[in-house]
Amino acid sequence: MKEGPLFRKFRQDKLVTIEQLAIDTGLSQGFISKFERNQSDISISNFRLLLTALNVSEEEFWIGLRNQEIPKNLKDNDLNIARIHAQVPFMTPFFQVSALSNSKDVLPYLKKAKEMFKQFPTRKNRFVYLFFQANKAILENPIDKTTLHDSQLPIVHYLQQVDEWGLYECFLFELFTTAIDADLMLPLLKIGLNKSRSLAQNPSFYGLSFQILMSAFTSLLARKRFDLAQAVYNIFLQEPPVNASEVIMKDFLGGWLLIMKEQTSKGTKKWQKAIQSFKELGMSKTANDLQDSLTQILKDKDQMMVLLMSRSNASEF
């Protein structure tokens, strides 16, 4: 248990003594001391009492606890990813993949997931196995559409049947958008958006709606379902942006849609406008990534699904 030592750090940082806490809470100094040294359990009510006396919110405390698990000296992008992973540890088996460029890259992950499911045949382990199975199918040349279709069936059934979506279901939908049948995308997307909007009350998940929309949009573009992609883009336009990046991304996505619909000149201009805006914000890496993507898509639109996999599996959730 790491709550005690972290609580002690909060207390010491705020220059509060155990004696002062005991007076404010009615708890004994001995009990508080044992809690801080992990020598005593604590009830939720007493824990909240201590936090209130210290003027620390529960959310602030749990964020601090999660951040303790994050390695030091990470670069900004890696640090953001690590923070997200710490917030949703139940997604770790899905997030273990770095960048994928061909089906052979998936084989070690697929083998490990298959062995885990065989040893522990739980639904969660099955979904991890299906995730890597779908990844491999997408990266085959040509795409293994039969395996891709079969891998998403249990996921769709689960998402349709579960009474209430949580973070797990939102991330599950996002991860499987490349496999979910196009005609099922919008109904599931609407469920995910409703949940993600309520989760946005927590600042840690402000961008979840954008992530879900982005995944659905790009997957539909890759399949050339422009009618559905347009419908998702229209939802994009109605979503209130969380930051300047999301405003710019709407330009980029509109350009992408035009390029895929063979309105290349008009679409490229919108895409280049987005790239320039990111440069002006000092986001050179994002601008360079978009420029690389534009070059690849203009060269071969039919390879867009592979491009999506190589970028999305970098775990930038």
How far apart are the C-alpha atoms of 84 and 286, rounded to whole Å? 19
Exposed / middle / buried, residue 253 (Cβ in 10 Å: 0-12, 13-18, 19+): buried
Place of tokens 């005991």: 22
What does the pLDDT read at residue 313? Answer: 42
Return the structure tokens found at 106: 């998936």
238-260 pLDDT, tens digit per residue, is: 988 878 888 898 889 999 999 99
What does the pLDDT read at residue 308? Answer: 54
Low-confidence ranges of the chain (pLDDT < 70): 1, 67-87, 97-101, 203-204, 302-317
- For each of the domains in the chain, give its residue range(s) and CATH number, in order of start: 3-67 (1.10.260.40), 79-312 (1.25.40)
How far apart are the C-alpha atoms of 2 and 116, rounded to whole Å? 29
Sequence-distant (6+) residues with CB within 8 A of 294 are: 268, 271, 272, 275
155-212 pLDDT, tens digit per residue, is: 999 999 998 898 899 999 999 998 999 999 999 999 999 998 888 777 667 788 988 9
Q: The pTM is what?
A: 0.75
Phi, psi (rounded to 5 degrees) for 46: -70, -35
What does the pLDDT read at residue 116? Answer: 94
Exposed / middle / buried, residue 299 (Cβ in 10 Å: 0-12, 13-18, 19+): exposed
DSSP for 281-303, please give it. Answer: TT-HHHHHHHHHHHHHHHH-GGG
What does the pLDDT read at residue 222? Answer: 86
